[in-house]
Copies of this chain bind each other. A is one copy, B any other.
């Protein structure tokens, strides 16, 4: 007698997934940190900028000396020198009626509190200029610490690092930072009928599709995948490959195929026999995707995915995608799950109640807005996924959706 599944709800399994901890922080350079999550608060170790800087090409002056200056009544200044770019004008002090040539980004000399743009000046002689516009104190100057003051919190723990955040860290010399790393995901395909995509295909064999699909989906989630190959349908071989992956640096092991309860399904048994493993579920109440296995061993996840292409993908995006995001330190539902939209459906769609159903749909733009159009096909086919833009969710106790009614669609990345 084939054993029965005890199905867990989608909500409950997603809860178990969210209970995984973010991976232990690592130190990384800024180049590889885009999109990662900070594992600690960051404070400014110094003022930025470290000195008052000019934001224009012009003359550093005392602003009060331009009082009343205009086209008809310019103020005269004696040019006492030039601030050489990239050096500090340490010996220089701007006194009353004095000016120093300065360039964008140059350090303001002592005494000066503003920069008059070159456009508002005329050179009268080697050391005399006239200025025909009054300027306010601080004009065309970035004050020391105006960008960031030493000690202030610049990026709290849990920040997803964007381009500008990395720029700020660079500006403060924080070129090594602590982040949650990308999870490393070992991918294993099982099945005596499988051969790699790029070799010859003997009769009775078929090319492995899931390894390629899953590797790309792992990348979509921010993880790093590596491929452990095709494992024959045998207890011993699968167990030894899984153990090897756990002993190296895999954070997640994805086994596709063999996750059901048939005589040739060894994933559950293999996971159960791994020392310290705890089975969290076998079977989830979604269609397609029922024969799903999740086990945990020392913070690492063992996932058994159904072998059918559509089932594997549904289970990946519902449970593995948020798992990987969670390991990277993401917290909010918006970050953990696929983007959603509500659209009306193009035709009546029937659904057998009892399981939440994920229907492949194409989004078409009609005059009165986007509609979801089902793409039918068996869950063992890959083409319907290729034709689809996302997955329309039919709730568990719903027998169908009428044409024109709204439904939620999870959008494929």
Contact = CB atoms under 8 A, between A and B. Distances in A.
Nearest to A379: B55
Contacts of A381: 142, 146-147
B217 A105 contact: no
B168 A209 contact: yes
Listed residue (A50, A194, A307) with the most chain B CB atoms within 10 angstroms of its CB: A50
Interface stretch (A12-20, A86-94, A128-136, A235-243): A86-94
Interface stretch (A169-177, A178-186, A366-374): A169-177
A72 interface: no
Contacts of A192: 84-86
A106 B213 CA distance: 21
B207 A382 contact: no
A70 interface: no
Contacts of A191: 85-86, 105
Contact of A55 (B103, B257, B308): B308
A81 to B, nearest CB: 14
B197 A30 contact: yes
Interface in A196-243: 197-198, 201, 203-217, 219-220, 233
Interface in A99-138: 103-107, 118-119
A161 to B, nearest CB: 8
A244 interface: no
Contact of A173 (B51, B84, B198): B198
Interface string A58-90: 000000000000000000000000001111111
A327 interface: no
A378 interface: yes
Nearest to A87: B204
B103 A262 contact: yes
Contacts of A167: 209-210, 212-213, 216, 309, 382, 385
Interface string A238-261: 000000000000000000010010
A144 to B, nearest CB: 11
B147 A175 contact: no
A171 B189 CA distance: 13
Nearest to A316: B163
A203 B142 contact: no
Contacts of A262: 57, 103-104, 118
Interface string A28-58: 0011001000000000000011110101010
Interface of A: 2, 30-31, 34, 48-51, 53, 55, 57, 84-90, 103-107, 118-119, 142, 146-148, 154-155, 162-173, 175, 191-194, 197-198, 201, 203-217, 219-220, 233, 257, 260, 262-264, 307-309, 313, 378-383, 385-386, 388, 412-413
23 contacts: A30-B212, A30-B216, A34-B216, A34-B220, A55-B379, A85-B192, A90-B203, A103-B262, A105-B191, A107-B204, A142-B378, A147-B383, A162-B412, A162-B413, A163-B213, A163-B412, A164-B412, A167-B209, A168-B383, A170-B211, A171-B209, A173-B198, A173-B201
